[in-house]
Amino acid sequence: MKLITIIGARPQFIKAAPFSEEFRKKNIEILVHTGQHYDANMSDIFFDELGIPKPDYNLGVGSGSHGKQTACMLEGIEEIILKEKPDGLLVYGDTNSTLAGALAASKLHIPVYHVEAGLRSYNKLMPEEQNRILTDHISDILLCPTETAVSNLKKEGVVSGVVNTGDIMYDTVLRNIEIANQKYGNGVWFDEIVRENGEIIKLRENEYYLATVHRAENTDNQEKLLNIFKAFSDLDKPVLLPLHPRTKKLIEGLEVDLKNIIIVKPVGYLLMLYLISNAYMVVTDSGGLQKEAYFLKTPCTTLRDQTEWVETLENCWNVLSQIDVEEIKTKVQRELTCIKYPQPKSFGEGNAALKICEAIIDGGKINE
């Protein structure tokens, strides 16, 4: 079977690693990198660390408005489909790369396979939610990470070709956490951060908050962005903040108090796993980081009103917070009752890559 896979952003690189390894055992995969994430720390390092095959095509789209970015991807992907004549096209998640790939294939009557289908935050103001819904409704096989995702699709009348494969990010975490521990244990993690960023205050394991902020709903609103940084500056532990290049650019013009906040360059996947695993708590607006924290049994506070990963909310392993200074401080500094409870196996057994391959090759009929 010949398959085109579309990737373009950090979470997609993470998901692509176990699938590519499994699928390429008996099939042909053409890997297309849209270039949506193009900074070396947001792209190249993931290919190196996770052993992802070198992309066959790189569209080099870069940043831009949603319309311009999606249109450039659509044009480039269409040309590749016409040249390669694949049996199908696979997309991951909810980025503009996802939607562009699905649209290009669907209009050329090429089957579309959507990994992470069925997620819903029920907030259509989020571009990610729009991308998810549109992609799901033109996909031929919908590869869901959880039973909640299957139920969401059923509510929308989508039942054909729907398969619960488990979460492929869980595969990647299980495959790499020990590698991360061996590579960055014994203080190597801190030395690496200093080497990349210069001297910072001494951090100790389990005595820092690990934060990320990149969602447009937070970064494009100056009041929200200022509230997040005000809350961070008043927390009872230092906040380690690997900052997305786009967010860094946005705060440069604001009068932001960086007291208690340690801003560093984006880090690679293995170091990020180590930082998540050894943080007191993760504070984020990222969907992927919510899950990685859950998989590694690190409590999380999500800086959003809703989450597509509702499973992480059980027993308060993850807690949502509105973008209000006092609410963020209260939620982050809450008593961690979650550690008293076992986690249910909501995301599968860590064999999603194999199940996704089987579903695609079998035509999506496994669970019909």
Which of the following is catalytic: 33, 37, 114, 214? 214
- Show the tokens assigned to 347: 């995301």
Q: Is 214 annotated in the active site?
A: yes
Rounded Cα gap, residues 120 and 304, in angstroms: 14
Beta bridge partners of 114: 91, 142
- Show the tokens assigned to 267: 């880090």
Alpha-carbon dihedral 142, 285, 212, 59, rounded to 10 degrees: 40
| 347 close to 166: Cβ distance less than 8 angstroms | yes
**Nearest in space to 27 (alpha carbons), one of 87, 111, 112:** 87
- Show the tokens assigned to 14: 């993470």
| 328 close to 227: Cβ distance less than 8 angstroms | yes
Please report, for residues 29, 172, 265, 316, the alpha-carbon distance to residue 169 in angstroms, rounded to integers and kept in the order given: 19, 5, 23, 21
Q: Which residues are catalytic?
A: 214
